[in-house]
Amino acid sequence: MSLPEGVQRRSFDGRESLATRGPQVSEEPTVDGWRRWDPDRSKVGAMFEDGLEHGLEGGERVLYLGAASGTTVSHIADFAGPTYAVEFAPRPTRDLIEVAADRDRLFPLLKDARKPETYAHVVEPVEVLVQDVATRGQAEVALANRQFLEPDGRLLMAIKARSEDVTADPESVFEGVCETLSSGYEILDRGRLEPYHDDHLGVVATPRQ
pLDDT of residue 26: 86
**Do strands 30-31 and 62-65 pair parallel, antiparallel, or not at all (unpaired)?**
unpaired
Q: Is 167 within any annotated ligand binding site?
A: no
Query: Residue 1 pLDDT > 80, yes or no?
Result: no
pLDDT tens per residue across span 77-100: 999 999 999 999 999 999 999 999
Question: What mean pLDDT is reported for the chain?
Answer: 97
- Give percent of the chain above pLDDT 70: 100
Give the Cβ contact number of residue 137 at 10 Å: 15
Q: Is 135 within any annotated ligand binding site?
A: yes
pLDDT tens per residue across span 19-70: 999 999 988 999 999 999 999 999 999 999 999 999 999 999 999 999 999 9
Residue-wise DSSP of 141-205? HHHHGGGGEEEEEEEEEEEEHHHH-TTS-HHHHHHHHHHHHTTTEEEEEEEE-TTTSTTEEEEEE
- Give residue 116's pLDDT band: very low, low, confident or very high (50, 70, 90): very high
- Give residue 130's pLDDT band: very low, low, confident or very high (50, 70, 90): very high
Q: Is 166 exposed, middle or buried (0-12, 13-18, 19+ CB in 10 A)?
A: exposed
Query: Residue 186 pLDDT > 80, yes or no?
Result: yes
Residue 40's φ and ψ, nearest 5 degrees, are -70, -15
Q: Is 107 exposed, middle or buried (0-12, 13-18, 19+ CB in 10 A)?
A: middle
Q: Is 20 within any annotated ligand binding site?
A: no
Distances (CA, A) of 111 to 90, 105, 209: 9, 18, 28
Q: Is 134 within any annotated ligand binding site?
A: yes
pLDDT of residue 209: 87
For the chain, domains (ranges, CATH) are 38-207 (3.40.50.150)
**Taking the model in full, what pTM does it have?**
0.96
What whole-number distance in Å separates Cα of residue 133 and Cα of residue 73? Answer: 13
pLDDT tens per residue across span 3-25: 999 999 999 999 999 999 999 99
**Do strands 15-21 and 34-36 pair parallel, antiparallel, or not at all (unpaired)?**
antiparallel
pLDDT of residue 109: 98
- Give residue 148's pLDDT band: very low, low, confident or very high (50, 70, 90): very high
